[in-house]
């Protein structure tokens, strides 16, 4: 476990000498958003509760916070909305304390350890020992960072010399099946157990990640014993070939050939599509399949099946807000509405675009974001809860 002087993430920046009552507060501290079963909490980086919310069947989302409630009549007042969004951050920067335990003293013994895609952080506060884990997906994030900040070459190279990314690639190789060239998993992106070990959209994501990393390394002219751009490019090409070989099959529900959701690698397939399987949606965007290729037609049929009642375990057509959802929480998900909107946009289907947008607007909160359904009311209308999971807004941002 290596000592560090400063930990910095999108949610937290604390130096090892920072005090809980110090006037020298970081200017870019943000709230930490936590949600479970329809209950959400926003805290400052010291663990003080600044906002609590839950769903009430009569009154909707009930919230307690240290400032005036959002004025629903000003939903389309962009200046007012932006100013209101800043209120929690302004409260954090003001140094005012929230609810809950008020810990005092200086942070000491701040250490971190990287294990696969998790960063384990420990520190002491007086006699209290604090441990936390931050999960991340650093390979694509690193590629995106260099793409958006091309001047940060030295920083990216320094990260590439560390053990994090080679460690992730080594762990992935432990899951590679030599007979098929596929990578096994125990769960779907929706955190549900799989009946067959190989999952389709996970392979699309892995192919994209390997291809992006290879391009980034080539751009940097960076190569090491464990990170070689040519080897990664070849590995991505082999994975694409294996994926096309083993996941293409005839769906008995449609009597057409498409991409299966799961396979055992020996000819047995499961056909299904889930709101969480965004990599499948991004096949043409990521150029896994060219528009004129047979694979693009397979993708179209796969998405058409997934966004139809024939997808019996994943599509829930009942009511005015029916649509794509998940077996994880049965019912239409806002993330599924986003998939329908993006797919219709890629096809240029104006009627489907407008229908998906109607449902998206109905489930958006005042922030313009919505999340996976943990609560709903009669009529199958999904209510947005758990503001830390803004999957719909992030998905639409790709457009």
The residue assigned the tokens 């969004």 is 85
Query: Comparing 31-35, 112-116, 248-252, 324-328, which segment has the lowest mean pLDDT?
Result: 112-116
Phi-psi domain of 106 (left: phi exceeds 0; alpha: psi -120 through 50; beta: other): beta
Query: Comparing 111-120, 284-293, 314-323, 351-360, which segment has the lowest mean pLDDT?
Result: 111-120
Q: What is the mean pLDDT of residues 271-285?
A: 95
- Mean pLDDT computed over every residue of the chain: 80
pLDDT above 50 for 378: no
- Most confident residue range from 6-10, 105-109, 230-234: 230-234
pLDDT at 126: 73
pLDDT above 50 for 17: no
The residue assigned the tokens 């694409």 is 240
Q: Indicate the Cα dihedral angle 312, 317, 319, 322, nearest 10°.
A: 110
pLDDT at 70: 81
Higher pLDDT, 22 or 316: 316
Query: Comparing 35-39, 70-74, 117-121, 246-250, which segment has the lowest mean pLDDT?
Result: 117-121
pLDDT at 4: 29
Structure-token pair, residue 111: 């250490």
Structure-token pair, residue 275: 């709101």
pLDDT at 137: 59
pLDDT at 46: 67
The residue assigned the tokens 């004129």 is 292
Higher pLDDT, 178 or 359: 178
Q: What is the mean pLDDT of residues 177-199?
A: 92
pLDDT above 60 for 152: yes
Higher pLDDT, 325 or 27: 325
Q: What is the mean pLDDT of residues 55-76?
A: 81
Residues 6+ apart with CB under 8 A from 13: 6, 7, 26, 28, 29, 45
pLDDT band at 397 (very low <50, low <70, confident <90, very high): low
pLDDT band at 230 (very low <50, low <70, confident <90, very high): very high
Higher pLDDT, 185 or 45: 185
Higher pLDDT, 118 or 13: 118
pLDDT band at 23 (very low <50, low <70, confident <90, very high): very low
pLDDT above 90 for 99: no
Predicted TM-score (pTM) of this structure = 0.68
pLDDT above 80 for 105: no
Higher pLDDT, 211 or 51: 211
pLDDT above 60 for 281: yes
Q: What is the mean pLDDT of residues 206-225?
A: 95
pLDDT at 379: 40
> CA 315 to CA 324: how far, in whole Å?
4
Q: Of 221, 112, 234, whose CA–CA distance to 156 is shortest?
A: 221
Structure-token pair, residue 83: 């100013």
pLDDT band at 342 (very low <50, low <70, confident <90, very high): very high
pLDDT above 80 for 38: no
């Amino acid at each position: 476990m290596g000592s560090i002087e400063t930990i910095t993430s999108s949610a937290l920046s604390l130096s090892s000498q920072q005090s809980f009552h110090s006037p020298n507060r970081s200017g870019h501290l943000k709230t930490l958003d936590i949600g479970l079963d329809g209950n959400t909490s926003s805290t400052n980086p010291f663990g003080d509760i600044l906002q609590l919310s839950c769903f009430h069947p009569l009154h909707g989302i009930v919230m307690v916070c240290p400032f005036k409630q959002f004025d629903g009549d000003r939903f389309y007042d962009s200046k007012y909305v932006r100013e209101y969004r800043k209120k929690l951050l302004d409260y954090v920067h003001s140094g005012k304390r929230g609810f809950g335990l008020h810990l005092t003293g200086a942070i000491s013994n701040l250490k971190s350890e990287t294990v696969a895609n998790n960063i384990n952080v420990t520190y002491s506060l007086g006699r209290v020992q604090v441990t936390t884990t931050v999960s991340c997906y650093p390979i694509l994030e690193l590629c995106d960072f260099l793409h958006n900040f091309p001047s940060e070459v030295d920083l990216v190279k320094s990260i590439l010399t560390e053990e994090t990314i080679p460690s992730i690639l080594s762990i992935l190789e432990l899951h590679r099946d030599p007979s098929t060239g596929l990578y096994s998993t125990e769960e779907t992106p929706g955190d549900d157990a799989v009946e067959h070990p190989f999952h389709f959209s996970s392979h699309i994501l892995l192919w994209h990640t390997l291809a992006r990393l290879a391009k980034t390394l080539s751009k940097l002219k960076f190569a090491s014993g464990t990170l070689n751009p040519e080897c990664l490019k070849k590995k991505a090409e082999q994975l694409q070939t294996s994926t096309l070989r083993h996941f293409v099959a005839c769906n008995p529900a449609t009597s057409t050939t498409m991409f299966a959701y799961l396979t055992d690698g020996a000819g047995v397939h499961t056909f299904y599509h889930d709101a969480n399987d965004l990599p499948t949606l991004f096949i043409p965007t990521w150029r896994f399949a060219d528009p004129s290729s047979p694979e693009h037609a397979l993708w179209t049929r796969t998405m058409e099946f997934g966004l139809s009642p024939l997808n019996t375990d994943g599509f829930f057509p009942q009511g005015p807000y029916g649509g794509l959802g998940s077996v994880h929480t049965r019912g239409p998900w806002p993330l599924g509405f986003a998939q329908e909107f993006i797919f219709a946009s890629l096809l240029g289907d104006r009627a489907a675009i407008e229908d998906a947008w109607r449902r998206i607007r109905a489930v958006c909160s005042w922030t313009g974001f919505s999340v996976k359904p943990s609560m709903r009311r009669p009529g199958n209308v999904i209510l947005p809860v758990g503001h830390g999971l803004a999957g719909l807004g992030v998905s639409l941002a790709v457009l």
